[in-house]
Homo-oligomer: A and B are copies of this chain.
Amino acid sequence: MDERVKKALIDIVGEEGYTDNLIDMVSYSYDASEHRHRPSCALWVESAEQVSEILKLANNELIPVIPRGAGTGLSGMAVPIRSGIVLDLSHMNRIISISIEDRMAVVQAGVIYSELEKALKPYGFFFPPDPASETVCTLGGNVITNAGGLRGAKYGTTRDYVLGLQVVLPDGRIMRTGSKTMKSVSGYELTRLFVGSEGTLGIVTEMNLKINPRPPKTSTSLATFDDLRDAGKAVSEIMHSGIIPSALEILGKHTILAINQNTDLNLPEVEVMLLVETDGYTKEETDFQMSIVLDVFKKNNCREIKRATSKEEATDLWKARKTAYAVLARIMTHFVLEDITVPMSKIPEMLEGVEAIAQRNNIRIATYGHAGDGNLHPQILYDGYDPEQVKNKEAATAELFKLSIDLGGTLTGEHGIGLSKAPFMKLEHDPVALDMMSSIKKLFDPNNILNPGKMALKD
C-alpha cells in the first residue's frame, strides 16, 4: 500500500485499525472457497462514518474495497482478487435494539448470528434464516449474501427478514433504505437490491431485521431409502400433502459412507436418508404433520423410520446431517461445496445426474442438502495437488451447473456467485438481465471499487 494512502487510512481508523502484516494478509486472502488472493491491507472499522471516509478515499484513489464479515462464504466473495483494502466489519458488533412487540431487531453488520439468537431466546423469539454457520457467521454477511439454511422451505431466506438498511455508497454517502415497519411500499425496493449483492453495490453497516416467535414444539424423524427414486418421490409427495416441514434434509449414499468412516455414528448404509422436522405450538400439530410425512415415507418404500421421542433423540438424529460438511471437508486435501437448486420435482433426476457426473469424470462427489426447497449440496472431494483431479473437478462442476440449469434450476440457492460461479452466469441468465445487472453496478459504483471481479459484472 502506497505510504500516502496508508497514512490517510490510519488517520481514519487509527494505528490499531490498520494492518498490512504478512500474517494478516494471508488470513485475509481466503474465505471458505478454494480461492486465495492477498489484499494490500486490512482495516477494522468501527462506524459507518469511518466506512464513508475510507470509501471516499478509495474512490478517489481507485483502490478496491472488499467488505468482510467472518469469511465463511463458500464462493470467494470475500477474496480480494484484485488486492486493495479488506474492510473487516466484525468490530461493528453491537445489537442496537430489540423490540419484541414490533418484531424487530436493529443490529450492526458485524453481529454474529448466534449472538442475536442468544439475545432473542429469553423472549421466545428467533431470527429464522440460520445458515448453519451460526456461531461464526455475521449477520451483515448473511444479508449481503442472502444466506439460506436449514429452515428455508418453511421460513424462507434472509431476504424475507430484512426491513431496512444503513448502507455506505462507494462515493461515501451514507444512505438509509426501507423502514422500521413490517410492511412498506414506499418507493423502489432498495433494501432487497442490496441483499445478496455480495458487497458490490455498497457497504451495509446496519440492518433492521424482522424476527419471529419460535414455535415451541417440534417433532423429528429420520427415514432411510434403498432407492433414490423412492426418496425423490417421497419429497414430491410431501410437497403435495399440504405440509411444509420446518426442515426436510437429505443425505446421499457417499455422504453416509463418509460419515461412517469418520465418526462412530454407525448409520445404516442406504442410498438416501431423509431427516424431517415439523413444528408448531402444540404436540398435536407437530404430530399430525409428522404422521402425514411418515405415511408418505411408508407409501414410497422407505426401509426404516426412526422417530425421536425426546429432545436428546432428536439431537441424535440431527447429528449425521450436522456433521456432513466437516467430515467431508477432511477426507481429501481439497473440496468445493456446490449448492445447485432445482424445482423439487427434479430432485431425483438431479441426484441421479450427480452420480453420473461423478462417474463420468472419475471424481468423488458426496451430496446432502435441503430437499424441502430443492437446494442440494454436492461436495466434490479432490486432491488439489493432482492436476488430473483438478481438471476432473472442473469438468464435473461445469456439468453440475449445466444439469441444474437444464432442469429449470439455478447455479446457487444460498452460497452466491462470487468468483466460483461467475464464469457460469451466462448459462443461467438472459443477456438482457446480465446487462441490467452490470448497468446497476455501474450506476452505484462507477469506478468499480467495491469488490471488483465478482458476479461476472462487466468492468
Chain A residues with CB under 8 Å of chain B are: 99-104, 123-125, 145-146, 148, 152-153, 156-157, 159-160, 169, 173-177, 179-190, 192-193, 195-197, 201, 212-214, 216, 236-237, 239-244, 280-282, 284-285, 288-289, 341-345, 373-375, 408-417, 421, 425, 428-430, 432-434, 436-437, 439-441, 443-444, 455-456
Contacts and interface: CB of A to CB of B under 8 A. Distances in A.
Contacts of A153: 182
Contacts of A101: 236-237, 239-240, 343-345
A183 B99 contact: no
Contacts of A180: 343, 408-409
Contacts of A280: 280-281, 285
Nearest to A442: B443
Contact of A190 (B146, B436, B441, B443): B436
A284 B286 CA distance: 11
Contact of A175 (B186, B409, B433): B433
Contact of A187 (B239, B341, B434): B434
Contacts of A181: 341-343, 373-375, 408-410, 413
Contacts of A434: 187
A196 B190 contact: no
A284 B289 CA distance: 13
A234 to B, nearest CB: 11
Contact of A410 (B179, B212, B244, B341): B179
B103 A183 contact: no
30 contacts: A99-B343, A100-B239, A101-B240, A101-B344, A102-B345, A104-B343, A146-B185, A146-B189, A152-B183, A160-B160, A174-B432, A176-B430, A177-B430, A180-B408, A181-B408, A181-B410, A182-B413, A183-B413, A185-B414, A187-B417, A187-B455, A188-B193, A189-B192, A192-B192, A213-B241, A243-B281, A282-B284, A282-B288, A285-B285, A443-B443
Nearest to A75: B185
Contact of A124 (B99, B124, B201, B242): B242
Contact of A182 (B177, B374, B411, B412): B374
A459 to B, nearest CB: 16
Given A181-B375, A213-B243, 8 more contacts: A152-B183, A157-B183, A185-B413, A185-B415, A187-B456, A188-B455, A190-B433, A281-B285
Contacts of A443: 439-440, 443
A160 B413 CA distance: 16
A313 to B, nearest CB: 23
A173 B439 CA distance: 15
B411 A186 contact: yes
Contacts of A411: 186
Given A216-B242, A425-B186, A176 B433 contact: yes
B148 A183 contact: yes
Contacts of A344: 101-103, 182
A244 B104 contact: no
B156 A160 contact: yes
B432 A169 contact: yes
Given A174-B432, A179-B410, A282-B285, A437 B187 contact: yes
Given A99-B345, A102-B343, A160-B160, A421 B186 contact: yes
Contacts of A425: 186-187
Given A242-B124, A440-B440, A187 B429 contact: yes
A184 B341 contact: yes
A103 B186 CA distance: 29
A32 B181 CA distance: 25
Nearest to A243: B213
Nearest to A441: B188
A212 B243 CA distance: 9
**Top 9 A-B pairs, shortest CB-CB distance:** A284-B284, A285-B285, A182-B373, A102-B343, A213-B242, A183-B413, A184-B410, A175-B432, A101-B236
